[in-house]
Copies of this chain bind each other. A is one copy, B any other.
């Protein structure tokens, strides 16, 4: 799953709350919904989105669906963030070069 998906999905506060609720460990839907400011169907909808994004996984246990965290779903987002630090040095180098030949006239880029 692309980092864009994780970003979009985790942007919603309620959905993030659902997600964080699963840090403690696997949990059935009704238990997640309890202590949450929204209705149970709303939680179900959030869980579906989280599952489609690969951020949680679901297993059936009789009548209940037990949801649990999928930390690998965060991997791509983490990598994306890391990539910014990677090219920090690169950007610095480029800017240093530019400064050297103090090109002022066409410095706007693009």
Residue pair A23, B81 in contact (C-beta under 8 Å): no
Residue pair A35, B95 in contact (C-beta under 8 Å): no
Residues of B contacting A94 with CB < 8 Å?
Answer: 24-25
Please report the total number of A residues contacting B with Cβ < 8 Å.
33
The one of B8, B28, B108 that contacts A31, using a Cβ cutoff of 8 Å: B108
Q: How many copies of the shown chain assemble into the complex?
A: 2
Residues of B contacting A34 with CB < 8 Å?
Answer: 110
Alpha-carbon distance A84/B110, docked complex (angstroms): 39
A37 touches B (CB below 8 Å) = no
Pairs A-B, 8 closest by C-beta atoms: A11-B11, A31-B110, A8-B11, A78-B81, A7-B11, A27-B109, A31-B108, A71-B84
Q: A25-B109, A31-B110, A74-B81 are in contact. List 4 more A-B contacts (CB 8 A).
A: A25-B91, A25-B94, A26-B109, A71-B88
